[in-house]
């Protein structure tokens, strides 16, 4: 059961990362608003977690970008 939950979390992270790549939000200069990412309800939890762990960064004006080098 635990491995299913882990797999689901990994899949959510992958989907969110893909959305950042699709809008080219991979640097502070190209950061986007949350609405541009078109996150689903299920993805919001993972988004907040990634933000908390600095994989997603928030700019001073409230936009977001994927900050890790594994994109």
CATH of the domain at 34: 1.10.10
Global pTM reads 0.87
Residue 63 contacts residue 69 (beta carbons within 8 Å): no
In a domain, 9, yes or no: yes
Q: What pLDDT score was predicted for residue 5?
A: 87
The answer to whether residue 71 is domain-embedded is: no
**Is 46 domain-assigned?**
yes
pLDDT per position in the chain (71 positions), as tens?
A: 567 788 999 999 999 999 999 999 999 999 999 999 999 999 999 999 999 999 999 999 999 999 976 65
The pLDDT of residue 69 is: 67
Angle subtended at Cα 71 by Cα 8 and Cα 11, rounded to the nearest 5 degrees: 10
Domain region containing 45: 2-66
Say if 19 falls within a structural domain. Answer: yes
3 state DSSP class of 54: coil
Number of folded domains that form the chain: 1
Does 15 fall in a domain? Answer: yes
Asked if residue 42 belongs to a domain, the reply is yes
Q: Which two tokens stand for residue 36?
A: 């541009």
């Amino acid at each position: 059961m635990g491995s299913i939950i882990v797999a689901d979390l990994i899949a959510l992270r992958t989907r969110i990362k893909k959305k950042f790549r699709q809008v080219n939000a991979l640097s502070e200069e190209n950061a986007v608003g949350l609405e541009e990412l078109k996150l689903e309800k299920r993805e919001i939890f993972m988004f907040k977690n990634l933000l908390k762990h600095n994989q997603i960064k928030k700019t001073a004006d409230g936009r977001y970008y994927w900050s890790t080098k594994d994109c």
